[in-house]
Structure 1
Amino acid sequence: MATAVSTAHLPSHDVVTGRPPSSETKVLPSGRISYIWMLSDTERSHIAQMLNVDSKETLAKTKINNIVTYSFGTASEITLSGTYMKQDREICRTCGKYMGLDDLVHNAKYGSVHSPDFMLDILRNGPKSGETFPHIVFCSRCTTQFQALAWWDDPQNPGQVWKHDP
Structure 2
Amino acid sequence: MSAYVDQVYREKGGVRWLLTDEERKHIVELLDTNESTVSHLKGTNMTIARMTCVKCGKRSGLDDLVHNAVEGGIHNKEFMVDVLVNGPKGASPLHHLDCSRCSERFKQMCTWHNDEDCGSWD
| TM-score between the two structures when normalised by the length of structure 2 | 0.88
Amino-acid identity (%): 37
Structure number having the greater strand percentage: 1
1:113-153 CA-partner distances (Å, limit 9, x unpaired): 110011011111221233x2211111011100001112101
Residue from 29, 34, 37 that aligns with 1:77: 37
Q: What corresponds to 1:147 in structure 2?
A: 107
Q: What corresponds to 2:120 in structure 1?
A: 162
Q: Which runs of 5+ in 2 are unaligned?
A: none
Q: CA RMSD in A?
A: 1.7
Q: For the Cα contact (< 8 Å) 1:20–1:38, is it kept in 2?
A: no
Q: For the Cα contact (< 8 Å) 1:35–1:84, is it kept in 2?
A: yes
Q: For the Cα contact (< 8 Å) 1:54–1:77, is it kept in 2?
A: yes
Q: What corresponds to 1:42 in structure 2?
A: 22
Q: How does 1:4-153 map to 2 (within 5 A)?
A: 21-28=5-12, 33-55=13-35, 76-78=36-38, 79-130=40-91, 132-153=92-113
Distance 2:97 2:61 in 1: 9
Q: Secondary structure at the match of 2:70?
A: helix
Distance 2:47 2:106 in 1: 15
Q: Which runs of 5+ in 1 are unaligned?
A: 1-18, 56-75
What is the letter of the counterpart of residue 120 of structure 1?
V
Structure number having the greater helix percentage: 2
Deviation at 1:20, TM superposition (A): 6.3
| TM-score between the two structures when normalised by the length of structure 1 | 0.66
Deviation at 1:27, TM superposition (A): 2.2
The runs of at least 4 consecutive aligned structure 1 residues that moved more than 4 Å come to none
Query: Number of matched residues?
Result: 119
